[in-house]
A and B are shown apart, each in its own frame.
Chain A
Amino acid sequence: MKVMEVPPRYPNFEQTAVKKFWESLEEGKLLTTKCKDCGKIEFPPKLVCTSCYSDNAEWIELPKEGKLYSFAEMHVVPTGFKPPLTVAVVELENGVRLFSYVINASYEELNVGDEVEIEFQELNWFDYKRHRYFVFKKKG
């Protein structure tokens, strides 16, 4: 691969207060933070609640099923990725929305509202790092 002048980016899993999120992915769990004071569920997980500014958060596990809120199919992708990439925003039962890949369907095979389940997959981050992340699989 050509050495890029502008390096691609990947998460810093170490220097973050939500390290537990990334560690839990390795165990096949999808976690996020919930404020114990006002009840707000955040995604992405956050150290401090963006609503009441309490730092009294607990980790909760997110449901592994949801519905397609919107989707797209990328044919022009940044270096390090292989097109086409089908991506989606999925809404879980508790209203939390997630962004990731749809691994088993193309744009034409998808409709808003389609039911999906969440799986975990090893991603290859530009030959720099390997890490598991959550992905979507259309049901049926």
Chain B
Amino acid sequence: MAEVAIVGVGTTPYGRHLDKSATDLAQLAVKEALEDANISIKEIQGFVLSSQNPEILQKQGNAVNHFSEFLGVSAKFATRVEGACVSGSMGLRTGYMAVKSGVVDVCLVVGVEKCYELSGPDIMAAFSYVIDRDWEAAYGSNAPMGFAMFATRHMHTYGTTEEQLAMVAVKNRRFASKNPKAHFQKPITVNDVLNSRPVCKPLKLLDCCPVSDGASAAILVNGDLARKFTDTPVYIKAIGQHLINENVISSIHDLTEFTALKRAAKDAYKQAGIEPGDVDVAEVHDCFTIAEILEIEALGFCEKGGGGAFVEEGQTDIGGKVPVNTGGGLLSRGHPIGATGICQAGIIVQQLRGEAPEGRQVDAEIGLSQNLGGWGTSQAVVIYSR
């Protein structure tokens, strides 16, 4: 079967876009991706839309048809994917399978979320729709709550400290200070994180990613055609995915690890024929600081329980074993739900092309992105190479 290459990526800045609609944001991301690939919208054969919640956030259904009007997409394969925060990587995988199977040769994958049409409490209520209604959300559960449960248990079992969690936020903000498209760019200190107000103990405000508006896009093509569009194609070597049937927080059998990620990663490494140590740069799903620690463990970058120390030693920083979240991560770059997985791909593509700005540039041949949905019980891992 054909190889699949990414030949174009684009993203809007992430943040509060009070002067732009969801379709405006999608247009801007796709425009940048088309220009990057030097391709016309007329050449697009497949269209995958990743959007978590336009039904509630915009009161707009039939999303794939709706966005096609504004994007000018006419396609022989079109679908919309949704899996909460992992929607973007599910979209990448859907586009990847469409190209790999030969259904289409050129596929546009677009992720978009526009949150700030609603007020803060309404956004929170809309996001809580991803949580099980009868057994969890009805009692007030929200995103920080679930990850705080992991944090409490991980700290109890392995002695992970609030300072180590804070170091994740500080590192990712430093990277974001060199990413003009990041939601937050002003550097912070460990004390800033520790002194920020509690959101859900033990997690504080700066342990949490923001709500962002934004869109990201990628153009996937049959590998045989890649050089027609670009001199620097980036190949998708593997995508591993795992969904585990533990959606309610009390159903998760082990709150000290992301079991589904261990399985997705194992599959992805096997497909790509590599070991965790071969990964030169990674974008991981740091919706909360504790998540990045659980992820570097489950991805095999360090041993189980050793994530806090690995961060403290600087192993996830430039010059460490594997620089993590050089684009700023969800914590600082922002997290427009459906766009995140596709934005992560764009940051890895930038690194593998050698186009990342100084201060967050890694000499990388193999990159990895990891994206999760729910309480980490739905996971996807993408491995890229030059």
A contact residues vs B (CB 8 Å cutoff) = 2, 4-12, 16, 43-44, 50, 69-81, 85, 87, 89-90, 97-101, 107, 111-112, 123, 125, 133
Q: B248 within 8 Å of A by Cβ?
A: yes
With A8-B125, A9-B133, A74-B140 already in contact, the answer to whether A99 and B248 are too (CB < 8 A) is: yes
Q: Tell whether, in the assembled complex, residue B255 and residue A75 are in contact, meaning their CB atoms are under 8 Å apart.
A: no
With A5-B118, A112-B156, A133-B139 already in contact, the answer to whether A89 and B198 are too (CB < 8 A) is: no
The 9 closest A-B pairs by CB, nearest first: A72-B148, A99-B250, A11-B134, A73-B201, A6-B125, A70-B153, A81-B140, A112-B156, A97-B250
Bound together, the chains give a CA A16 to CA B133 distance in angstroms of 13
Q: Tell whether, in the assembled complex, residue A98 and residue B250 are in contact, meaning their CB atoms are under 8 Å apart.
A: yes
Bound together, the chains give a CA A75 to CA B156 distance in angstroms of 21
Q: Tell whether, in the assembled complex, residue B56 and residue A125 are in contact, meaning their CB atoms are under 8 Å apart.
A: no
Give the distance to chain B from A130, nearest Cβ to Cβ, in Å. 13
Give the distance to chain B from A2, nearest Cβ to Cβ, in Å. 8
Bound together, the chains give a CA A111 to CA B200 distance in angstroms of 16
Report B-chain residues with C-beta under 8 Å of the C-beta of A79.
121, 124-125
- Complex: chain B residue closest to A110, CB-CB: B152
Interface residues of B in 104-153 (CB under 8 A from A): 118-119, 121-122, 124-126, 128-129, 133-142, 144-145, 148-153
- Complex: chain B residue closest to A98, CB-CB: B250
Bound together, the chains give a CA A2 to CA B119 distance in angstroms of 11
Q: B251 within 8 Å of A by Cβ?
A: yes
Give the distance to chain A from B88, nearest Cβ to Cβ, in Å. 23
- Complex: chain B residue closest to A113, CB-CB: B156
Give the distance to chain A from B275, nearest Cβ to Cβ, in Å. 32
A-facing mask of B198-211, CB < 8 A → 1, else 0? 11111100000000
Report B-chain residues with C-beta under 8 Å of the C-beta of A12.
134
Partner of A78, one of B124, B156, B248, B249: B124
With A5-B122, A78-B128, A97-B251 already in contact, the answer to whether A72 and B200 are too (CB < 8 A) is: yes
Report A-chain residues with C-beta under 8 Å of the C-beta of B152.
70-72, 112
Q: B245 within 8 Å of A by Cβ?
A: yes
With A69-B255, A112-B152 already in contact, the answer to whether A125 and B138 are too (CB < 8 A) is: yes
Report A-chain residues with C-beta under 8 Å of the C-beta of B134.
11-12, 16, 44
With A9-B138, A78-B140, A112-B152 already in contact, the answer to whether A89 and B125 are too (CB < 8 A) is: no
Partner of A6, one of B122, B197, B198, B199: B122
- Complex: chain B residue closest to A72, CB-CB: B148
Report B-chain residues with C-beta under 8 Å of the C-beta of A89.
149, 249-250, 255
Q: Tell whether, in the assembled complex, residue B124 and residue A75 are in contact, meaning their CB atoms are under 8 Å apart.
A: no
Bound together, the chains give a CA A8 to CA B156 distance in angstroms of 33
Report B-chain residues with C-beta under 8 Å of the C-beta of A72.
145, 148-149, 151-152, 200-203
Bound together, the chains give a CA A43 to CA B152 distance in angstroms of 22
- Complex: chain B residue closest to A11, CB-CB: B134
